[in-house]
Amino acid sequence: MTDEELMRLALMEAEGAAARGETPVGAVLFDPASGQVVASAGNGPIGAHDPTAHAEIVAMRAAAAKLGNYRLTGLTLAVTLEPCAMCAGAISHGRIGRLVFGAEDPKGGAVLHGPRFFEQPTCHWRPEVTGGVLAEEGAALLKAFFKARRR
Q: Which amino acid does the sequence have at 39?
A: A
Q: Is there a binding annotation on residue 84?
A: yes
Looking at this protein, which amino acid is placed at residue 102? Answer: G
Catalytic residue among 4, 13, 22, 56: 56
Catalytic residue list contains 56: yes
What are the residue ranges of helices labelled H in the chain? 3-19, 45-48, 55-67, 85-93, 135-149
- Residue 87 known to bind ligand: yes
C-alpha closest to that of 53 among 61, 62, 45: 45
C-alpha distances out from residue 106 to 5, 88, 138, Å: 25, 15, 14
Instruction: Give CA 79 to chain center in angstroms.
Output: 3
Q: What's the CA gap between 139 and 123, in Å, rounded?
A: 28
Q: Which residues are designated catalytic?
A: 56
Instruction: List, as residue ranges, the binding site for Zn(2+).
Output: 54, 84, 87
Instruction: List, as residue ranges, the binding site.
Output: 54, 84, 87
